[in-house]
Amino acid sequence: MANRRDFFKTVAAATAGFVVSGRGVADAGARAVQAAPRRREVTVAGRRVKVIDVHCHCVVQEVADVVKGTSLASNAGGGAGRGGGGGNVLGPERLRLMDQQGLDIQALSINGYWWYAADRDLARRIVQVQNEGLAKWVAAHPDRFVAFASVALQHPDLAAEQLEDAVKKLGLRGASIGGHVNGEDLSLPKYDPFWAKAAELGVLVFMHPGGADNIVREGALRGRGELGNIIGNPLETTYFLSRLIFDGTLDRHPGLRICAGHAGGYLPSYLGRTEAACQVRPNANCANKKHPSEYFKRELLIDTMIFSEEGLRHLVAEMGVSQIVYGTDIPFNWPVGVDLVLNASFLNNADKEAILGGNLIKLLRITS
């Protein structure tokens, strides 16, 4: 039978994230709606450390007006149809979630890359509205957010211009890109103007996959298990990184820093085969100047979305602490949290601080 303590627990759970205190439960519940959320403050060895989330989604709803009446209209609406529910729309709920999870800063990106199908003029307008929308939200919450720019990668010279404007005029910290452009590999020379600009500006590029549509036979990942997400996303990321390595893109633009979502897909977890390819496969025709693993020590970074301590241990062993940054995939509810890093027995305190936020403070030039 429920006792009084259980009752209080239930009330606390129902108002999770809020400070419930004071003179009785009845009005505490009502007041909790306005009460300040309880913010988790992450510490390492008693010292407060900053937690920065490289992998989090959002939408800028104003873009719906830009694409109204075009074939892209259905892609732009608030994010509800693209998974994550209304959680992609930035508002008080996002801050509550961040406070609950101990996230000090999110580096926002707009995912889906549906605007890669737009012609030059429309793409220019879409990206402008999205980047200005991101900048506006960041300006309203300068201590809690930074953002990656959208770019129209299907027009590489325009994408380079958009990135420069976003960084220099709007204060955005890098670019967010998909794993391909309408099926085309991003290691093709035509995309070099974009890579060159990212390298010149010295900004981080965050790559997010979209189900490996560029690789798999149509419908191949349908059915149980939502394999388009579960397998397609890490597969697309693995392919994207492999192309950049073997086609020499990373050698052509040595200043690049690219962060791949979802722990870099399968590649850093199975690096040995890739490492051997240029030696043992006569047809590999490798254009890379360094061993593949060397790019994972410098140019390439990944987020922490690996879900197990053993997985994280392996990634640290392959890449080093400096190449791993914290990511949540908010608003999607994957079982991630700062405790994976905080409880990792193989990390020292400095390692934990670097992975949770220190690496991104440098890469994203965060000063707040």
| List of residues contacting Zn ion (CB under 5 A) | 329
C-beta closer to Zn ion: residue 292 or 331: 331
Query: Could you tell me which of 188, 191, 171, 76 has the C-alpha nearest to residue 123?
Result: 76
Tell me whether residue 303 or residue 351 sits nearer to Zn ion (CB atom). Answer: 303
Residue with tokens 């509550």: 96
Say if CB 331 and CB 225 are below 8 A apart.
no
CB of 203 to Zn ion, least distance (A): 20
Strands in 66-171 per DSSP E: 105-110, 145-149
Whichever of 155 and 208 has its CB closer to Zn ion, that residue is: 208
Comparing CB distances to Zn ion, the nearer of 265 and 292 is: 265
CB 207 within 8 A of CB 261: yes
Q: How far is the CB of 86 from Zn ion (least distance, A)?
A: 16
Contact call for residues 155 and 120 (beta carbons, < 8 A)? yes
The nearer residue to Zn ion, 236 or 329, going by C-beta atoms, is: 329
Nearest to 247 by CA among 287, 199, 304, 295: 287
- Nearer Cβ to Zn ion (28/340): 340
Q: How far is CA 303 from CA 31, 183, 325, 368, in A?
A: 38, 24, 5, 22
Closest CB 87 distance from Zn ion, rounded Å: 12
At its nearest, how many Å lie between Zn ion and the CB of residue 250? 23
Count the helices and strands in the chain (H runs, E runs). 17, 10
